[in-house]
Amino acid sequence: MMDPESPLAQINTQIRAFCDQSGRDPHSVQLLAVSKTRSPDELARLADQGQRHFGENYLQEALDKIQALSGRDLVWHFIGPIQSNKTRDITAHFDWVHSVDRLKIARRLSEQRPAGLAPLNVCIQVNVDNEDTKSGVPLAQVPELAAAMAALPNLRLRGLMAIPRADSEDHNRQAFRQLAMTLSQLRNTMPALDTLSMGMSADFGVAIEEGATFVRLGTALFGPRPAKDTR
């Protein structure tokens, strides 16, 4: 049952309020609970309150939780950097991948997707700040990568994801707006694209105002992460 005081209930209330304020349908925004470093019990408590979408960054840790919580009809999203030697397990165990930023990885995810599973839902991670150090494809290369990925049989390209440099609300709003504009341009040729994965604990309100369809929240739901989160 949903305890109205729980962080999950409060976040869902806030998401609805941001939708109302910006004239959006509250069902158009989904909460992705970012559960890296959290125990299976913590996830189970959220699942008991109705949370279905969980996002994980570290493969081995994620596989343990997917196994521990199997049978609960949860939807698993991979949102961390992807090494080529991890694609087989990722595409076998996840429903979504938000962090595809090169064709080589996309091809492997498609080729290695087990027969009998629906196509893997994927987003292209965009480096909206054009920082050398960050993952993500530069905005200018998005159309070419999207076109190539759309041709892969076992992937279903859904949209774009970004993690803007967290410095000011103004900066992030511009970054979210740019991502939304890029999606809307892609939709001219790929009208099925429907996903903008953007906004974290510190800026999800702004992200919703700018069109986010998944907000990815960790700290706001679970409290501060333990300091070991530097892997």
Ligand X SMILES: *Cc1c(COP(=O)(O)O)cnc(C)c1O
Give backbone dihedrals phi and psi of 158, rounded to 5 degrees, phi first: -105, -30
Site string for ligand X, 126-155 (x = CB under 6 A): ------------------------------
CB of 37 to ligand X, least distance (A): 9
Per CB under 6 A, the segment of 15-23, 101-109, 168-176, 211-219 that binds ligand X is 211-219
Q: Within 10 A of 213 (CB to CB), how many other CB atoms are there?
A: 19
Could you tell me how many residues of this chain bind ligand X (CB under 6 A)? Answer: 13
Question: Based on CB atoms, which residue is closest to ligand X, 113 or 216?
Answer: 216
- 87 near ligand X (CB under 6 A): no
List the one residue from 74, 142, 163, 180 that touches ligand X (CB under 6 A): 163
Does residue 90 belong to the site contacting ligand X (CB under 6 A)? no
Helices (H), 82-155: 87-93, 103-112, 142-150
Nearby residues of 219 by Cβ (< 8 Å), 6 or more positions away = 201, 225
Q: Does 218 bind ligand X (CB under 6 A)?
A: yes
Q: Could you give the CA distance from residue 67 to residue 13 in angstroms, rounded to a whole number?
A: 30
Tell me if 217 contacts ligand X by CB under 6 A: yes
Nearer CB in complex with ligand X: 106/215: 215
Q: Residues near 164 by Cβ (< 8 Å), separated by ≥ 6? A: 128, 129, 171, 172, 175, 176, 198, 203
Residues of span 166-205 touching ligand X by CB under 6 A = 200-202
Q: Which SS3 state, helix, strand or coil, does residue 204 take?
A: helix
14 binds ligand X (CB under 6 A): no
Tokens 């992200």 locate to: 207
Residues in the site for ligand X, rule: CB under 6 A? Answer: 34, 36, 57, 79, 163, 200-202, 216-220
